[in-house]
């Protein structure tokens, strides 16, 4: 905060001189400056503190909401969890891997539809779903089809989870052509996100 003691001392000295010489008290230019400045500083510091507190409160609320959404969003849905576990058991795939793919694909949201037309929790393209005998618009069938496809990718790449996940995103031919995760930014990001959740 600004030190105003010098101004106060000058004002006191002026008042003393006026008293000594019996001068009429005058309003000197700047006499009220210190007081007004102090009032303005007080107003702004209260306002700044209030704003900072409001921003911190909003950030904390947003972080809490985001954390709650990401951890409980759809896995608080017991039907989704049961369906994933049932499909994982049926095709002998780790349910954590199926859950990780579902999370990255759609956030576990059956109503999700990508700009490319992929549908549901496991984001099945209608042609792929048809080849798997799945109805992509039905959650149970969508998860069953996606898990079956994941099993096929694991079998194709000798159980290599990283390659299987890359193939789920980019297709098995791309993974074979590059001998691993294709150098596509989207696929590399996808694989990293799925494996981060899976681990």
Q: What CATH number is attached to the domain comprising 108? A: 1.10.530.10
pLDDT tens profile 65-87: 333 333 334 456 889 999 999 99
Do residues 23 and 43 share a domain?
yes
Residues in the chain where the model's pLDDT stays below 50: 46-74
Q: Which of 136, 87, 157, 159 is nearest to 170 (CA)?
A: 157
Do residues 107 and 68 share a domain?
no
Do residues 84 and 11 share a domain?
no
Predicted confidence at residue 77, as pLDDT, reads 83
Do residues 64 and 86 share a domain?
no
Is 105 a catalytic site residue? yes
Predicted confidence at residue 142, as pLDDT, reads 98
Q: Domain end: 39, 72, 105, which one?
A: 72
* List 35, 105, 140, 186, catalytic entry: 105
Inter-CA distances, 71 with 4, 12, 86, 108, 177, Å: 54, 65, 21, 11, 36
| 3-state SS assignment for residue 119 | strand
Do residues 155 and 105 share a domain?
yes
How far is Cα 15 from Cα 19, in angstroms, rounded to an integer?
A: 6
Do residues 166 and 117 share a domain?
yes
Do residues 54 and 31 share a domain?
yes
Do residues 88 and 50 share a domain?
no
Do residues 99 and 157 share a domain?
yes
Q: Domain end: 39, 57, 72, which one?
A: 72
pLDDT tens profile 21-34: 665 555 555 555 55
pTM for this one? 0.63
Indicate the number of domains in the chain.
Answer: 2
How far is Cα 185 from Cα 199, in angstroms, rounded to an integer?
A: 21
Domain extent, residue 128, equals 78-198
């Amino acid at each position: 905060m600004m030190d105003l003691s010098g101004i106060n001392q000058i004002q006191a000295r002026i008042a003393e001189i006026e008293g000594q010489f019996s001068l009429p008290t005058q309003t000197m230019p700047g006499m009220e400056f210190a007081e007004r400045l102090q009032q303005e500083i007080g107003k702004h510091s209260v306002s700044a503190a209030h704003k900072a507190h409001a921003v911190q409160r909003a950030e904390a609320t947003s972080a809490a909401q985001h954390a709650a959404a990401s951890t409980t969003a759809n896995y608080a849905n017991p039907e989704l969890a049961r369906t994933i576990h049932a499909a994982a058991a049926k095709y002998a795939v780790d349910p954590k891997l199926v859950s990780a793919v579902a999370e990255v694909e759609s956030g576990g949201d059956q109503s999700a539809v990508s700009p490319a037309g992929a549908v549901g929790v496991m984001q099945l393209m209608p042609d792929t779903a048809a080849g798997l005998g799945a109805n992509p618009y039905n959650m149970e069938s969508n998860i069953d089809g996606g898990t079956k496809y994941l099993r096929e990718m694991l079998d194709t790449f000798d159980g290599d989870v990283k390659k299987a996940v890359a193939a789920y995103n980019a297709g098995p031919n791309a993974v074979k052509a590059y001998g691993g995760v294709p150098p596509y930014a989207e696929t590399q990001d996808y694989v990293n996100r799925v494996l981060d959740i899976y681990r």
